Amino acid sequence: MLPWRFPLRRPIAPPGSSAIAPTYPFGSDYHGLRPVHHGADMENPRGTPVLAAAAGVVVFAGADQHALLGPTPNFYGQAVVLRHDFAVAGQPVLTLYGHLDTVAVQAGQTVAAGAVIGTVGSRGVAIGPHLHFEVRLGTNAYDAVQNPVLWLQPSAAGEGALAMRLTDAAGQPRHLTDIVVRGLDAGLPTLYPQTYAPAALPGDPRLHENLALGSLPAGRYEVEITCCGRLFRRQIVIQPYRLTFVRLALP
Protein backbone atom coordinates (compact mmCIF):
# COMPACT_ATOMS: atom_id res chain seq x y z
CA MET A 1 0.00 0.00 0.00
CA LEU A 2 1.41 3.37 -0.93
CA PRO A 3 0.41 6.83 0.22
CA TRP A 4 -0.94 8.12 -3.05
CA ARG A 5 -2.66 11.25 -4.22
CA PHE A 6 -5.16 11.19 -7.04
CA PRO A 7 -4.90 14.85 -8.06
CA LEU A 8 -7.44 14.96 -10.92
CA ARG A 9 -11.22 15.12 -10.89
CA ARG A 10 -13.11 12.99 -13.33
CA PRO A 11 -13.76 15.08 -16.47
CA ILE A 12 -17.36 13.95 -16.99
CA ALA A 13 -20.06 14.55 -14.37
CA PRO A 14 -23.37 12.68 -13.91
CA PRO A 15 -25.64 12.05 -15.73
CA GLY A 16 -22.69 11.51 -18.11
CA SER A 17 -20.37 8.56 -17.49
CA SER A 18 -16.78 8.89 -16.30
CA ALA A 19 -16.28 5.11 -16.51
CA ILE A 20 -13.23 4.14 -18.57
CA ALA A 21 -14.06 1.84 -21.48
CA PRO A 22 -12.40 -1.48 -20.60
CA THR A 23 -11.95 -2.77 -24.16
CA TYR A 24 -9.12 -0.38 -25.14
CA PRO A 25 -7.43 0.74 -21.91
CA PHE A 26 -4.28 2.83 -21.62
CA GLY A 27 -1.29 0.97 -23.07
CA SER A 28 -3.40 -1.47 -25.09
CA ASP A 29 -2.85 -2.04 -28.80
CA TYR A 30 -6.18 -3.84 -29.09
CA HIS A 31 -4.60 -7.20 -29.95
CA GLY A 32 -2.26 -5.50 -32.42
CA LEU A 33 -5.07 -3.91 -34.42
CA ARG A 34 -4.83 -0.28 -33.24
CA PRO A 35 -2.12 2.16 -32.22
CA VAL A 36 -1.04 1.83 -28.59
CA HIS A 37 -3.61 3.78 -26.60
CA HIS A 38 -2.11 6.85 -24.96
CA GLY A 39 -5.21 7.77 -22.96
CA ALA A 40 -8.48 6.51 -21.51
CA ASP A 41 -11.85 6.65 -23.26
CA MET A 42 -15.14 7.66 -21.66
CA GLU A 43 -18.10 6.84 -23.88
CA ASN A 44 -20.86 9.45 -23.75
CA PRO A 45 -23.48 10.95 -26.06
CA ARG A 46 -22.34 13.76 -28.33
CA GLY A 47 -22.74 17.10 -26.55
CA THR A 48 -22.00 15.81 -23.02
CA PRO A 49 -20.08 18.58 -21.16
CA VAL A 50 -16.33 17.97 -20.67
CA LEU A 51 -14.88 19.42 -17.46
CA ALA A 52 -11.37 20.57 -16.51
CA ALA A 53 -9.79 17.83 -14.36
CA ALA A 54 -7.97 20.48 -12.27
CA ALA A 55 -7.35 24.22 -12.34
CA GLY A 56 -4.88 25.41 -14.95
CA VAL A 57 -4.09 27.35 -18.09
CA VAL A 58 -5.28 26.42 -21.58
CA VAL A 59 -2.16 25.74 -23.67
CA PHE A 60 -4.05 24.45 -26.72
CA ALA A 61 -7.67 24.70 -27.90
CA GLY A 62 -9.13 23.86 -31.29
CA ALA A 63 -8.45 21.70 -34.36
CA ASP A 64 -5.20 19.69 -34.36
CA GLN A 65 -4.86 19.72 -38.16
CA HIS A 66 -1.69 21.81 -38.01
CA ALA A 67 -0.55 21.18 -34.44
CA LEU A 68 0.88 17.72 -33.97
CA LEU A 69 -0.80 16.58 -30.75
CA GLY A 70 -1.06 12.91 -31.75
CA PRO A 71 0.84 10.55 -34.06
CA THR A 72 -0.69 12.18 -37.16
CA PRO A 73 -2.40 15.53 -37.89
CA ASN A 74 -6.14 15.61 -37.14
CA PHE A 75 -5.79 12.59 -34.80
CA TYR A 76 -7.87 14.23 -32.05
CA GLY A 77 -10.01 16.35 -34.41
CA GLN A 78 -10.57 19.07 -31.86
CA ALA A 79 -8.77 19.07 -28.53
CA VAL A 80 -8.05 21.09 -25.42
CA VAL A 81 -4.77 20.80 -23.48
CA LEU A 82 -4.49 22.24 -19.96
CA ARG A 83 -1.31 22.83 -17.97
CA HIS A 84 -2.10 22.53 -14.28
CA ASP A 85 -0.79 24.59 -11.39
CA PHE A 86 0.95 21.72 -9.58
CA ALA A 87 3.93 19.48 -10.30
CA VAL A 88 4.47 15.76 -9.76
CA ALA A 89 7.97 14.28 -9.46
CA GLY A 90 9.19 17.84 -10.14
CA GLN A 91 7.47 17.96 -13.51
CA PRO A 92 4.48 19.94 -14.81
CA VAL A 93 1.23 18.03 -15.31
CA LEU A 94 -0.93 18.48 -18.42
CA THR A 95 -4.25 16.95 -19.44
CA LEU A 96 -5.58 16.50 -22.98
CA TYR A 97 -9.24 16.17 -24.01
CA GLY A 98 -9.66 14.78 -27.54
CA HIS A 99 -12.34 14.26 -30.23
CA LEU A 100 -14.34 17.24 -28.89
CA ASP A 101 -17.46 18.28 -30.76
CA THR A 102 -17.24 21.87 -29.50
CA VAL A 103 -14.48 23.77 -27.71
CA ALA A 104 -15.49 26.33 -25.07
CA VAL A 105 -12.10 27.85 -24.16
CA GLN A 106 -9.21 29.68 -25.82
CA ALA A 107 -5.44 29.29 -25.49
CA GLY A 108 -4.05 31.45 -22.69
CA GLN A 109 -7.25 31.38 -20.66
CA THR A 110 -7.24 30.29 -17.01
CA VAL A 111 -9.80 27.67 -16.01
CA ALA A 112 -11.05 26.47 -12.63
CA ALA A 113 -11.31 22.78 -11.74
CA GLY A 114 -14.62 21.48 -13.04
CA ALA A 115 -15.14 24.31 -15.58
CA VAL A 116 -16.76 23.29 -18.86
CA ILE A 117 -14.07 23.31 -21.57
CA GLY A 118 -16.00 21.68 -24.42
CA THR A 119 -18.36 18.86 -25.33
CA VAL A 120 -17.96 15.18 -26.25
CA GLY A 121 -17.76 14.39 -29.96
CA SER A 122 -16.18 11.99 -32.43
CA ARG A 123 -13.93 14.24 -34.51
CA GLY A 124 -10.55 12.95 -35.67
CA VAL A 125 -9.70 9.26 -35.46
CA ALA A 126 -12.64 8.07 -33.31
CA ILE A 127 -15.24 5.33 -33.44
CA GLY A 128 -18.42 6.85 -32.01
CA PRO A 129 -18.67 9.79 -29.60
CA HIS A 130 -16.37 9.57 -26.57
CA LEU A 131 -13.94 11.65 -24.58
CA HIS A 132 -10.31 10.64 -25.06
CA PHE A 133 -8.55 11.77 -21.86
CA GLU A 134 -4.77 11.92 -21.49
CA VAL A 135 -2.37 12.83 -18.72
CA ARG A 136 0.98 14.19 -19.92
CA LEU A 137 3.88 14.62 -17.51
CA GLY A 138 6.76 17.04 -18.10
CA THR A 139 5.91 18.18 -21.59
CA ASN A 140 2.96 18.48 -23.99
CA ALA A 141 4.11 15.51 -26.09
CA TYR A 142 2.34 12.40 -27.38
CA ASP A 143 4.91 10.08 -25.78
CA ALA A 144 4.94 11.84 -22.38
CA VAL A 145 1.71 10.13 -21.35
CA GLN A 146 0.78 8.48 -18.06
CA ASN A 147 -2.01 6.06 -17.18
CA PRO A 148 -5.02 8.22 -16.20
CA VAL A 149 -6.28 5.64 -13.69
CA LEU A 150 -3.34 6.51 -11.42
CA TRP A 151 -4.31 10.20 -11.53
CA LEU A 152 -8.09 10.35 -11.54
CA GLN A 153 -9.94 10.25 -8.25
CA PRO A 154 -11.81 6.95 -7.96
CA SER A 155 -15.46 7.24 -9.08
CA ALA A 156 -16.87 6.15 -5.73
CA ALA A 157 -15.83 6.58 -2.09
CA GLY A 158 -15.13 2.88 -1.55
CA GLU A 159 -12.70 2.45 -4.44
CA GLY A 160 -8.93 2.32 -4.79
CA ALA A 161 -6.35 1.50 -7.45
CA LEU A 162 -3.84 -1.23 -8.32
CA ALA A 163 -0.51 -0.86 -10.12
CA MET A 164 1.80 -3.72 -11.02
CA ARG A 165 5.36 -3.94 -12.28
CA LEU A 166 5.79 -7.35 -13.84
CA THR A 167 9.30 -8.04 -15.04
CA ASP A 168 11.60 -10.82 -16.10
CA ALA A 169 14.42 -11.96 -13.81
CA ALA A 170 16.63 -9.17 -15.18
CA GLY A 171 14.09 -6.49 -14.22
CA GLN A 172 12.88 -5.75 -17.73
CA PRO A 173 9.10 -5.28 -18.14
CA ARG A 174 7.40 -8.44 -19.32
CA HIS A 175 4.41 -8.33 -21.66
CA LEU A 176 1.74 -10.61 -20.21
CA THR A 177 -1.75 -11.22 -21.52
CA ASP A 178 -2.94 -14.02 -19.22
CA ILE A 179 -3.74 -12.21 -15.96
CA VAL A 180 -6.78 -12.57 -13.73
CA VAL A 181 -7.61 -10.18 -10.87
CA ARG A 182 -10.29 -12.09 -9.00
CA GLY A 183 -12.40 -10.56 -6.25
CA LEU A 184 -12.43 -12.79 -3.17
CA ASP A 185 -15.03 -10.94 -1.10
CA ALA A 186 -18.72 -11.00 -2.01
CA GLY A 187 -19.69 -8.58 -4.77
CA LEU A 188 -16.17 -7.83 -6.01
CA PRO A 189 -15.51 -7.99 -9.76
CA THR A 190 -13.14 -10.27 -11.64
CA LEU A 191 -11.01 -8.52 -14.25
CA TYR A 192 -8.73 -9.75 -17.04
CA PRO A 193 -6.15 -7.00 -17.61
CA GLN A 194 -3.03 -7.11 -19.77
CA THR A 195 0.28 -5.32 -19.36
CA TYR A 196 1.03 -2.31 -21.56
CA ALA A 197 2.06 -3.24 -25.10
CA PRO A 198 5.80 -4.01 -25.31
CA ALA A 199 8.34 -1.18 -25.25
CA ALA A 200 5.59 1.38 -25.62
CA LEU A 201 5.24 3.43 -22.45
CA PRO A 202 7.56 3.93 -19.49
CA GLY A 203 4.97 4.10 -16.71
CA ASP A 204 4.87 6.50 -13.79
CA PRO A 205 8.35 7.78 -12.81
CA ARG A 206 7.64 6.78 -9.19
CA LEU A 207 6.44 3.24 -10.00
CA HIS A 208 7.58 2.19 -13.49
CA GLU A 209 4.42 0.12 -13.58
CA ASN A 210 3.36 -1.79 -16.70
CA LEU A 211 -0.25 -2.39 -15.65
CA ALA A 212 -2.74 -0.35 -13.64
CA LEU A 213 -6.42 -0.60 -12.75
CA GLY A 214 -8.46 2.23 -11.26
CA SER A 215 -11.81 2.43 -9.50
CA LEU A 216 -11.52 -1.04 -7.96
CA PRO A 217 -14.02 -1.64 -5.16
CA ALA A 218 -12.13 -2.09 -1.88
CA GLY A 219 -11.61 -5.63 -0.62
CA ARG A 220 -9.49 -8.75 -1.05
CA TYR A 221 -8.43 -9.97 -4.47
CA GLU A 222 -6.23 -12.71 -5.86
CA VAL A 223 -3.95 -11.92 -8.78
CA GLU A 224 -3.24 -14.93 -11.00
CA ILE A 225 -0.55 -14.64 -13.64
CA THR A 226 0.18 -17.39 -16.13
CA CYS A 227 3.73 -17.08 -17.34
CA CYS A 228 6.35 -19.42 -18.67
CA GLY A 229 4.15 -22.48 -18.21
CA ARG A 230 3.48 -21.72 -14.55
CA LEU A 231 0.79 -20.07 -12.47
CA PHE A 232 1.80 -17.30 -10.05
CA ARG A 233 -0.66 -16.26 -7.33
CA ARG A 234 -0.59 -13.26 -5.05
CA GLN A 235 -3.28 -12.07 -2.63
CA ILE A 236 -3.77 -8.33 -2.41
CA VAL A 237 -5.99 -5.87 -0.59
CA ILE A 238 -7.47 -2.76 -2.21
CA GLN A 239 -8.31 0.09 0.17
CA PRO A 240 -10.42 3.19 -0.50
CA TYR A 241 -8.40 6.06 -2.01
CA ARG A 242 -5.15 4.05 -1.72
CA LEU A 243 -2.84 2.55 -4.29
CA THR A 244 -1.80 -1.08 -3.97
CA PHE A 245 1.50 -1.72 -5.75
CA VAL A 246 2.69 -5.21 -6.71
CA ARG A 247 6.21 -5.92 -7.98
CA LEU A 248 6.82 -9.36 -9.32
CA ALA A 249 9.95 -10.70 -11.02
CA LEU A 250 9.04 -13.70 -13.16
CA PRO A 251 11.41 -16.18 -14.78
The residue ranges that bind Zn ion (CB under 5 A) are 39, 41, 132
162 phi and psi angles, rounded to 5 deg: -130, 130
To Zn ion, the closest distance from the beta carbon of 36 in angstroms equals 11
55 phi and psi angles, rounded to 5 deg: -65, 150
**CA angle in degrees (0–180, nearest 5) for 113-20-47:** 60
To Zn ion, the closest distance from the beta carbon of 61 in angstroms equals 19
Q: 145 or 238: whose CB is closer to Zn ion?
A: 145
Q: 6 or 26: whose CB is closer to Zn ion?
A: 26
To Zn ion, the closest distance from the beta carbon of 22 in angstroms equals 13
C-alpha–C-alpha distance, residues 6 and 31, integer Å: 29
C-alpha–C-alpha distance, residues 230 and 249, integer Å: 13
What residue number has its CB nearest to Zn ion?
Answer: 132
C-alpha–C-alpha distance, residues 192 and 80, integer Å: 32
Q: 41 or 159: whose CB is closer to Zn ion?
A: 41
Q: 41 or 64: whose CB is closer to Zn ion?
A: 41
Q: How many CB atoms lie within 10 A of CB 108?
A: 9
Q: Is the Cα dihedral 173, 163, 2, 244 positive or negative?
A: negative
To Zn ion, the closest distance from the beta carbon of 21 in angstroms equals 8
Q: 96 or 218: whose CB is closer to Zn ion?
A: 96
Q: 10 or 132: whose CB is closer to Zn ion?
A: 132
Sheet holding 211-217, edge to edge: 211-217, 159-167, 243-249
172 phi and psi angles, rounded to 5 deg: -85, 140
